Amino acid sequence: MQNGSYFIPREQIYSFMNPSAMNNQEGLYVTWKTDPVAARRVLPPPLDLLDPAHPIAMVYVVNIREPTFAPWYMEGGLSLLCRYGDIVGAYFLNLQLSGPGAHMGLCSGREKAGLPKKMCERIVVERNGDWASAVIERKGRRIFSIEVEMGGYNDPIMEVMRKDYGPGYQERGACLLFQYECGQARDNRSTFENMRLVHYDSVTDFQTWEPAFIQSLNMESSLDDPWAELPVVRPLGAGYSINSNWIADISPLAHFESHEGDSLISYLFTGRWDRSTLVSERCQRYGQF
């Protein structure tokens, strides 16, 4: 049996997250128009909604079958379509992970890229003929569930938005993410310093893409995972896909100092942390002491 060590020669770490790819992932990609007031409320001020009057929310739920850095795992993410200057991309409010490789997927995504990831109890993606469904459950709540039927979208606009999607298509996409460092003030209050907006530049190679009609979509919010804060005003459609996604680059876009940076944590906290981290008394605990 091979044993490891807490010391590894530096040259053995040169291949850390290189490549950083999620190969042969399979599942659902969902799009809807959401409430403009709610979307603006949760989007950090440096970012602008791509269409402020008709903001677009997106969710993907996939089985990442062959990641290069971990065993397989399940992942689902909630995002808003936005821009920073000329860069158009997705701002992720939260991602949920489960399965054997989920811990490495969470740690690598949060520490390397600033992705707001959490662990959940269960993610399921199923495909039966022309029907597919997905479920995300965390802390006793079904925060996302969907059922779709293959064959077409809910809204013709999806034919424009996804017009090139299909076997052999390669898409270059951007995520707009925040990284920060935790500090501590003299009164022991936590501070969130050295706040940076970064451009997460990735490439998706599509093996398949099948248009799908959203038959039902439900979200159950909780104190720690308020996915339903972005309601479905108008379902646009979904797609069932097998594809591979890999990171091309992660580069800084902007830096926010002192109070300006620290105040951004109001938008970032819930996607990364549970409210239990804010409670000093009367917090339920399980196990033996």
* Residues 167, 243: Cα–Cα separation, whole Å: 9
Q: For 21-278, CATH number?
A: 2.40.400.10
Question: Which pLDDT tens digit goes with each residue over 160-212?
Answer: 999 999 999 999 999 999 999 998 888 888 888 899 999 999 999 999 999 99
How high is the pLDDT of residue 188? 86
Cα dihedral value 54, 110, 271, 57, nearest 10: 20
Residue 283 has pLDDT above 80, yes or no: no
Residues in the chain: 289
Separation in Å, CA 136 to CA 4, 77, 198, 214: 35, 10, 27, 17
**Residue 276's Cα: distance from chain center in Å?**
22
How high is the pLDDT of residue 171? 97
- Record the tokens describing residue 58, joined without a space: 């997106």
Find the helix or strand (DSSP H, E) in which 38 lies. helix 36-42
Does residue 152 contact residue 213 with C-beta atoms inside 8 Å? yes
Tell me, what DSSP letter sits at residue 8? -
Give the contacts of 114 (CB within 8 A, at least 6 positions apart). 177, 178, 179, 180, 196, 198, 200
Q: In sequence order, which ranges of 113-264 are alpha helices (DSSP H)?
A: 157-161, 258-263
Find the helix or strand (DSSP H, E) in which 213 lies. strand 190-218
How high is the pLDDT of residue 289? 47
The one-letter amino acid at 97: L
Burial per residue of 170-196, b for 16 or more beta-carbon CB atoms within 10 angstroms, e otherwise = eeeebbbbbbbeeeeeeeeeebbbebb
Average pLDDT, the chain: 95
Give the contacts of 18 (CB within 8 A, at least 6 positions apart). none
- Please confirm whether the linkage preceding 19 is cis (ω < 30° from 0): yes
The one-letter amino acid at 147: E
* Residues 214, 157: Cα–Cα separation, whole Å: 14
* Residues 75, 119: Cα–Cα separation, whole Å: 9
Question: Which pLDDT tens digit goes with each residue over 263-272?
Answer: 999 999 999 9
pTM of this prediction? 0.95
Question: Which pLDDT tens digit goes with each residue over 207-250?
Answer: 999 999 999 999 998 999 999 999 999 999 999 999 999 999 99
How high is the pLDDT of residue 56? 98
